[in-house]
Amino acid sequence: MSNTKVDRWLIDSLMDIDFYKISMLQAFYHAAEFRLVNVQWKFACRNKEGLDLTTLIPDIEHQLEHLCTLSFTDEELDYLAKMSFIKPDFIEFLRIFKLNMKFIHIHSDGENINLRFDGPLLHVSLFEIYALSIISELHTYINCGGFDLFVAREKLAAKIALFKTGEDLTGLNFIDFGTRRRASKQWQEEVLKTLKTELPGAFLGTSCVHFARTLDLPAMGTMAHEWFQSWQAVTRLAEAQKAALEGWVREYRGRLGIALTDCYSMDSFIRDFDDPYFGKLYDGLRHDSGCPFVWGEKAINLYHRMDIDPLEKTLVFSDSLDFPRMIEIWKRFKGRIKVSFGIGTNLMNDVGNVPLSIVIKMVSVNGKPVAKISDEPGKSMCEDLGYLQYLASQYGIDPTTVKVAK
């Protein structure tokens, strides 16, 4: 490790990943539309001002090389096999599954990291979370010199105190969504153990499959933007969102039924979802961009129009949350619809440092651009403005309002 600064492996299990990556991978594996699909993913950092991220590259490469030596263990596969919606043939696919360095392309681009994963969808999709976790933890220890555990614990204790010493928050609950941007794997484990002990009624579980298994917590998650984006390349563009919704139903038959709404904006989602068929099969909706209050009101109105009691459905809020914001949203909607929250960076990287706002998003399928538009312009990610504008036009969005995020 002569050119590296971190002397331990940051990922030592392929289960150290968000659960929705596993659920989406199974859906891709079973969908005939994706058997011959190649994709490209691209890394981006939204807040790198003043940082030369290229100093992390030797360590990133070294950690990814180790990642590509890992396999799912029999014990891990036995854990997944006990989930009723995970199929035996997919378990056998995972048994022989390995990541491969030949699909990784990384080099410096000024002070930026140019990192891409390019290859068959089934063999590069999982790289996303592992790579983000690696980069986030390397940032903690190389750029920030680690963190003060006393400060981190104080910040966590203040969050817990809101539930114990403040106003009555009975009924408010949340999930850990912080794997991809955690300060460190060790800190995530400590946070989860603490929450399990201190807030057993409010803390529902984690998106991290490894810690769900090892700490006996529920594994939480359904789908992400890649599921919707990938359908842009295998069906008519104007029908891609509805095809993705139908494809998920085909795979899971109403289970794992929280639908992500913002790949093409909430208004276009409502247009495609406004059918009791979807309304009854899906358990609820997930918010990931735009004003949560406007979005929540639109969701409730949608269920009313479908003659569905909103109290039978769940809204999951997961966009840049902290605990005060979570409480504010919960107060707005409690008693009107079931509400839950997925908290990421503020839960797992609130340790006194400035965490990186990093993403890795799918940018092409079979050599053609794909994109998400989002309800927040800064969250759009596409390398082809012409395509992004055409996509917007297909989903009732003014093409002049969209832009390629820097």
Q: What is the pLDDT of residues 273-305, one digit of tens each?
A: 998 899 999 999 999 999 999 999 999 999 999
Write down which residue in 312, 331, 348 finishes a domain: 348
Same domain for 255 and 380, yes or no, is no
Same domain for 91 and 191, yes or no, is no
> Which residue type occupies 365?
V
Is pLDDT at 406 greater than 70 in this prediction?
no
- Structural domain contains residue 12: no
CA 357 → CA 107, 252, 314, 346, 373, distances in Å? 20, 32, 27, 11, 18
Q: Which tokens sit at 120?
A: 């068959």
Q: Give the span between the Cα atoms of 227 and 260, in whole angstroms.
A: 10
- 3 state SS of 249: helix
The mean pLDDT of 182-195, rounded to a whole number, is 98
Is pLDDT at 378 greater than 70 in this prediction?
no
Same domain for 302 and 197, yes or no, is yes
Q: What is the pLDDT of residues 48-63, one digit of tens each?
A: 888 899 999 999 999 9
Strands in 254-335 per DSSP E:
258-260, 284-287, 314-317
Is pLDDT at 127 greater than 90 in this prediction?
yes
The total domain count for the chain is 2
Q: How many other C-beta atoms are found inside a 10 Å radius of the C-beta of residue 327?
A: 17
- Structural domain contains residue 182: yes
Q: Which domain holds residue 49?
A: 19-145+356-401
Does residue 52 contact residue 255 with C-beta atoms inside 8 Å? no
Write down which residue in 307, 322, 348 finishes a domain: 348
Same domain for 343 and 361, yes or no, is no
Q: What is the pLDDT of residues 209-262, one digit of tens each?
A: 999 999 999 999 999 999 999 999 999 999 999 999 999 999 999 999 999 999
Same domain for 209 and 279, yes or no, is yes
Same domain for 339 and 288, yes or no, is yes
Same domain for 74 and 28, yes or no, is yes
Residue 336, domain CATH: 3.20.140.10
DSSP 3-state percent helix, strand, coil across the chain (nearest 5): 50, 15, 35
- What is the model's pTM? 0.96
Same domain for 387 and 341, yes or no, is no
Does residue 288 contact residue 319 with C-beta atoms inside 8 Å? yes
